[in-house]
Every structure is written in C-alpha cells, then in structure tokens.
Amino acid sequence: MKSILQTIDLRKTYRVGKVETPVLHGISLEVKEGEFIAIMGPSGCGKSTLLHIMGGLLKPTSGRVIVDGEDISSMSDSKRTEIRRRKIGFVFQRFNLFPTLTAEGNLRLAERIYSGNGNRDDSRRREILRLLQLENKMHHKPMELSGGEQQRVALARAVINKPAIILADEPTGNLDSENSRIVLEMFQKLNEKFGQTIVMVTHNPEAARACHRIIQMRDGLIVGEIVK
C-alpha cells in the first residue's frame, strides 16, 4: 500500500531563552494509506511534538516529513498551511474551539476555511453530528457544553472536510467510557468506510485496541511496535 505520511530521522530541540530541551532524537515512521495507528508512551516523551510536526504545525530541527509524496519540511509556511488545510484534520490535546461560536458555528467556520464561501450541502455536517450524538447541541457554545461534548465537537471539526489524514492527540483523554466509545466507533467508521488514515496519540488501552498498529515511544525515540 502507498505511503501517505512519512517522517525521516526527525529531530526536535525546543529553545526557550538559552535553555535547550532536546525532545525528539530521530524518529522514522511510515504510515500507509488507510492505516489506523496508535502512538503510546509516557507523559513528556514527545508524542504531541511528533504529531504537531507530522501535521505541519511545528517545524522539526532536522529531518523530513513527507505528506502524500510532498516534502512539507522544506516548504514555505504558506504552502505548508495549504497542504495541511487540504489533507489533514487535527484534533488537539486541548480543544481549541472558538468560544463565541456555537458547535455548528465552529463546524461551519472549518468548512469555510477549507472551501471558501461557496454554497455547500449540509449532509456531511449532519451525518457527523449524528455519529457523534451532538444533533441537539448544535446551537450551544463551548461554555454551554460538557468537556466530553466539547471534545466531540473538536473531533467533528477535524473530520468535517474529509481529510485524507486525521491526526488526533489524546482524543479520548478527557472522556468517560461512554464518550470514549462513541469517539472510537466514529474513528473506526471513518477509517473503514471512507478509508481515512488515522494517527492517534493515546494512553487508553481501549483506544489502542481499535488500531491496526501500536507505536511505542520513550524519551523521544520509537522503542517498539505492535502490529495486529
């Protein structure tokens, strides 16, 4: 199967003032089209950093990131942003919803950023809201939603434009078991039905069970892999 997302010897050192914190020490990872992958590892080992670099949100100190055949690490910021908008849906570890917009408003904004102001049909949005059991929360603002509902809206926003690649940073991190189940079922459905590629950082063994492959990280390195 074709490779849709690849990192080659990725290294990252954060610099805050004069303090340097090396976080990634050479990560090479290939994700095939249609794969559903979990990344696991202790807190602070660099999972979010890796995901942000894979999604073009953060630049590596060295190494390369290839998205669907294109090297995004050597691109200008605007070109990289464009690729991200076209191909990648990102679920952040913290929700990042716009507080002044309703659930539906947050989704519409994501649609507009993707496709401009043209007319579009509402069916995809309705289906996603239904899958995530959010139909009756459409007109609520983030403040009027529970943590689990906010997380599901953030998820809906990440997948609304059918990105080829979904990168999710602990999407069930703040959810109870019922909400986690809803989210995982949606991921599985998107993966099986639409062939969307998913890379998910998680601490949740339930979540990891739903995947094809589990990547184990420790101290900025890949230390193991379980293929199912």
Q: Which of 48, 150, 180, 191 binds Mg ion (CB under 5 A)?
A: 48
Crossing angle of helices 147-159 and 123-131, rounded to 10°: 140
Q: How far is the CB of 120 from Mg ion (least distance, A)?
A: 33
Q: Report d(CA 76, CA 80) in Å as an integer.
A: 6
- Judging by DSSP bridges, how do beta strands 70-71 and 197-201 pair with one another? unpaired
Site string for ligand ATP, 90-119 (x = CB under 6 A): ---x--------------------------
The strands making up 3-16's β-sheet, listed across from edge to edge, are 19-32, 3-16, 62-67, 70-71
Ramachandran angles phi, psi of 175, nearest 5°: -110, 150
- Judging by DSSP bridges, how do beta strands 213-218 and 36-40 pair with one another? parallel
Q: Residue 50: which residues within 8 A CB-CB, separation 6 or more?
A: 7, 10, 24, 27, 39, 217
Choosing among Mg ion, ligand ATP, none, which partner's interface includes residue 55 (Cβ < 5 to 8 Å by kind)? none
Q: How far is the CB of 76 from ligand ATP (least distance, A)?
A: 22
The verdict on 54 binding ligand ATP (CB under 6 A) reads: no
Q: Find the part of the chain contacting ligand ATP (CB under 6 A) among 26-34, 47-55, 72-80, 97-105.
A: 47-55
Q: Which of 7, 48, 151, 197 binds ligand ATP (CB under 6 A)?
A: 48
Find the distance separating the first CA and the last CA of the chain, reported in whole Å.
16
Q: Which of 14, 79, 94, 98 binds ligand ATP (CB under 6 A)?
A: 14
Choosing among ligand ATP, Mg ion, none, which partner's interface includes residue 151 (Cβ < 5 to 8 Å by kind)? none
Binding residues for ligand ATP, total number by CB under 6 A: 12
Where on the chain is the footprint of ligand ATP (CB under 6 A)?
A: 14, 16, 21, 23, 43-49, 93
Where on the chain is the footprint of Mg ion (CB under 5 A)?
A: 48
